Amino acid sequence: MLEQYELNMNKVSGFSVVAYDQDEKLRWSAVAFCFGVIFLMEIQFAIVGYCGFQMHFKMNDLLRNVSEAHRRLQIQFFKSLVLQITSPTLTFYIPAVAIMLVPFFNLKLSIPSGLIVCSFSVYPPLDSLILMLIVSDYRNAIRGIFKQPSSVFGSKVSTGLAVPRAMMENAWN
């Protein structure tokens, strides 16, 4: 770090995986650590996958007894949940595993790790966008905001719900 980035690691918080010792021999403790972390991630994915499938099958049974509109909304929420579970895999876990495993390949090049680390900050807005784009009620409300910004920022009151005008006026009085 001092040679490449002119950064003293004693003065900066950080984490490093030292794959090889001074004699260019593989450090088995580093290998065990990386595979331990990957194993813990796999356990998490297995639990999420199992619970997701159980929820899917039980939800299909329960949704047979509800209206079409409610069924459609619940399916949209389920799809958004699946994508919200998948997005951290793409923005957190895959980049983290890449950063941990790169030292073991003993490459003599400088990888732009800043770009990989930036992917960590993509998750929060991506998580919100998934819900807003998948669920049609939210999507329609956002579309309405863009079509009539005065409904949000002006004096008009507009909702995405089918509520009679008299009820809305009574709610504000």
107-119, pLDDT tens digit by residue?
Answer: 766 767 777 778 7
Tokens of 42: 């796999």
* CA atoms within 13 Å, Cβ hemisphere of 168: 10
Q: What is the helix (H) or strand (E) element at residue 137, kind and residue range?
A: helix 136-147
Confidence of residue 154 (pLDDT cuts 50, 70, 90): low
26-84, pLDDT tens digit by residue?
Answer: 888 888 988 998 999 899 989 988 988 898 889 888 888 888 888 888 888 888 888 88
In sequence order, the 6+-apart residues with CB closer than 8 A to the CB of 18 are 27, 30, 103
pLDDT of residue 109: 63
